[in-house]
Amino acid sequence: MSKTKKPIFILAPMDGISDRAFRQIIKGCCPPDLFFTEFTNVDGLNSVGVENTKDRLIHPKTENNLIAQLWGLKPENFYKTARAISNQKYGQFLGIDLNMGCPDKTVTKNGACSALINNRELAKEIIEQTKKGLSKGLTISVKTRLGYNQVDLTWIEFLLNQKLDYLIIHARTKKELSKVPAHYQYFTDIIKLRDKINIQTKIIANGDILNYRQGIDLAKKYNLDGIMIGRGLFQDPFAFSPISPWTKYSVNQKIELFKKHINLFEKYWEGKKPIVLLNKFCKIYISNFSGSKDIRQDLMESKSVTELKTKLDKLL
């Protein structure tokens, strides 16, 4: 990745979504500058449950612009995982991102992810142990939110003092989830803080950014170093393209792309993940044409990959 390109575009880490299969689809449509893995738990990686966790990180050699996104609670496991990643145990990565922003209650109730906003001593120890385990040349970043119950830029200031390579900010608080519009206006103050504290940290914006053009406009307005897109890809898998062809895709073209996704899912996850995990992707490919809602519902009731592909073949 170019060190001078600005803004860079990044595929967001999305649990159960940004796996190997989905990343291959986006790469084939219009790849971003960086891809992130799904959330991967370091405590699971360093326990008897490792076999159920490591597949989130394992990837083909063709994925050479990938960041491992990690979460957990034990600093020593962040160190061990950083060492394993540095030694290419799971494949080649460009760096590690620490999840300090996920607002899901199942993780925050235990003190992980966005709950670390309120436990800065532990957050600092996690960052330090990850740095200690990383080889020279690999980057470290944190993905977080503007605050916990309310906007709190002292949290952003704290993170800037940790001398990160990237700071990725979802422009909402933990409490707000995704229920309110993103507060982009705070990036004005955040950029000023960055320039004062550590000019080397690149600021990446996340939240409600649907496509390349919107990202470019936002980056120019707030002098951002990068843009991260997640859910926008559910409206357009070519979201990273300056000129997307998606609105001109025929129904057959959309179905063929879905079949490609299904084949990749089958290749990577057969026997490991249930077909129900494909349901969430139906809305990408089976939408915006006559009868798509009913067709989508029928497809989501499929009991096997074979049944799903048979139904799609009949639609072609």
pLDDT tens digits, one per residue of 165-174: 999 999 999 9
Residue 1's pLDDT band (cuts 50, 70, 90): very low
Instruction: Using the predicted structure, report yes or no on whether residue 115 has a pLDDT greater than 60.
Output: yes
Residue 77's pLDDT band (cuts 50, 70, 90): very high
Which has the minimum average pLDDT: 90-94, 101-105, 267-271?
A: 267-271
Q: 177-196, pLDDT tens digit by residue?
A: 999 999 999 999 999 999 99
Instruction: Using the predicted structure, report yes or no on whether residue 119 has a pLDDT greater than 80.
Output: yes
Rounded CA separation 238/240 (Å)? 5
Instruction: Using the predicted structure, report yes or no on whether residue 3 has a pLDDT greater than 70.
Output: no
Sign of the dihedral defined by the CA atoms of residues 44, 45, 50, 51, in that order: positive
Which helix (H) or strand (E) segment is 308 a member of? helix 305-315
β-partners of residue 96 are 68, 140
**Residue 276 vs residue 182, higher pLDDT:** 182
Q: 288-303, pLDDT tens digit by residue?
A: 899 999 999 999 999 9
- pTM (2 d.p.): 0.95
Check residue 276 and give its pLDDT.
Answer: 87
Instruction: Using the predicted structure, report yes or no on whether residue 4 has a pLDDT greater than 80.
Output: no
Residue 2's pLDDT band (cuts 50, 70, 90): very low
3-state secondary structure of 139: strand
Could you give the residue numbers annotated as active site?
A: 102
